[in-house]
A and B are shown apart, each in its own frame.
Chain A
Amino acid sequence: MSKPRLANYLAKKRKITWTPKELIEFEDKVKEKWETGTVRGPVHLSKGNEEPLIHIFQYIHQEDWVFSTWRNHYHALLHGIPEDWLMEEILRGRSMKIMNRDYRFATSAIVGGIIPHALGVAMALKRNDYVPSYRGIQNNSGPGSDRKVWCFVGDMTFETGVFHECYKYAKNFDLPIQFIVEDNNLSTNTPTDETWGVKQEIPNDYSESGKLIYYQYERGFPHHGSGSWVLF
């Protein structure tokens, strides 16, 4: 497992209360519920990337936006979403579509779907002198705001055209967004390197822009579920 690369300017840190062990225990609870058949929707469990995520989330603040995917439990917990609320959503079969406006947390179950949304939010934050409030919802924007957008994607998504369009746009316009590539070399169970022939290396352009964080890990659970019960 490689250590995530972080830009030097990300100096503002906060304390993360979750430990790797506690994160694993949360997913194990979900696994137990899942295996009873009471969860009426797919679950995509995380395991193996606790330490890099805890490290990254030190730099993600409550007022920042986090965009995630179908595998979002760790991201949600580390962004401060209450454990009980998240578990309730999972039990309702909503694991693939965890959304929380209060915590500025959004996901999509479509590959690459969230990247343009994250880009648009970053564009809005950069122009935030325009908007006094979100139609009654306080957004704490305003000139001088240092809010950021954090967009988590897998390594197969990293190879897609939509990622490259959005990354290029964000870099060229210096938008307040960080992309995090979580590389387990798998898209569902399809190996990224085999299907593309070779995986792209992280070009200097990425690390120098300060907008890309990259880490590798080995996935501790199957793509979805726990390896038993049903496929969907």
Chain B
Amino acid sequence: MVGDLTTQKEEMQKFQEAEMLKTLDLNYKNELIRSMEWLGEKDDTLFIGQAVKYSGNAMYNTTKTISDDKKIEVPVLEDVQMGMSMGMALEGFVPITCYPRFDFLILATNQLVNHLDKINIISEGQFQPRVIIRTSIGSRIPLDAGEQHTQDHTQAYRSLLKRVDVVTLEESDDIFPAFKHAYERQPLSKYDSLVTLIIEWGDHYNAK
């Protein structure tokens, strides 16, 4: 009896995973790779983060075709990473600063909320750093990474950030235009932020 129930449960789980797989966006990862390659061709861009240069998480699969010269693999220092990205932007670089899970971005919230989101106002528009922040809602299939690796904090960050543009990439068609806009958009006033937080769906990284 118990064995039958276990078998039924396993079959149901397989069925549910198969149904979820059908909803995956098969072009999602390719569009991320295309966007990163497009950004990688620019003179002033740099890719900063953990596992931008060495494999270690799914986001790496979207940067592995970029030249190593354009990548700065950093230690685990999330808040410093956000601040150093801003510092590099003050000297003219456009950092694409990568946080492979939303759960890890929380550790960089001081620099994001207290500094990057406010620097234009604090400096009365003298400093307008352009920074592209990538993060991802951790995947639940085929492996469920659990409570500390899969959270979606989009609404919380929309509330915390007054000027940073928060963009979610729901469909593959959203991806390239979002990164292009983040790189190219011009400020309407000196108080406009040129910082973009781009939120990706980790479940789609594994789709082929």
**Which residues of A are interface residues toward B (Cβ below 8 A)?**
97, 99-101, 106, 108, 110, 113, 115-125, 127-128, 130-135, 137, 139, 141, 162, 165-166, 169
B92/A118 in contact, CB under 8 A: no
Does any Cβ of A come within 8 Å of B4's Cβ? no
Apart from A97-B123, A116-B79: 14 A-B pairs, beta carbons within 8 A: A100-B126, A101-B127, A110-B110, A110-B115, A116-B83, A117-B87, A120-B88, A120-B91, A123-B88, A124-B87, A127-B46, A133-B92, A137-B92, A141-B91
A131/B43 in contact, CB under 8 A: yes
B122/A121 in contact, CB under 8 A: no
Q: Which residue of A lies closest to B125 (CB)?
A: A101
B91/A125 in contact, CB under 8 A: yes
**Which residues of B are interface residues toward A (Cβ below 8 A)?**
43-44, 46, 72, 75, 77, 79-93, 110-111, 114-115, 122-124, 126-127
Which one, B85, B86, B127, contacts A99 given CB within 8 A?
A: B127
B114/A162 in contact, CB under 8 A: no
Q: How many angstroms from the CA of A80 to the CA of B112 in the assembled complex? A: 30
Q: How many angstroms from the CA of A133 to the CA of B90 in the assembled complex? A: 11
A118/B87 in contact, CB under 8 A: yes
B124/A117 in contact, CB under 8 A: no
B111/A113 in contact, CB under 8 A: yes
Q: How many angstroms from the CA of A124 to the CA of B126 in the assembled complex? A: 19
B83/A120 in contact, CB under 8 A: yes
**Known contacts A99-B124, A108-B115; is-contact A130 B43 (Cβ 8 Å):** yes
A121/B90 in contact, CB under 8 A: yes
Residue among A117, A130, A134, A162 with the most chain B CB within 10 A?
A117
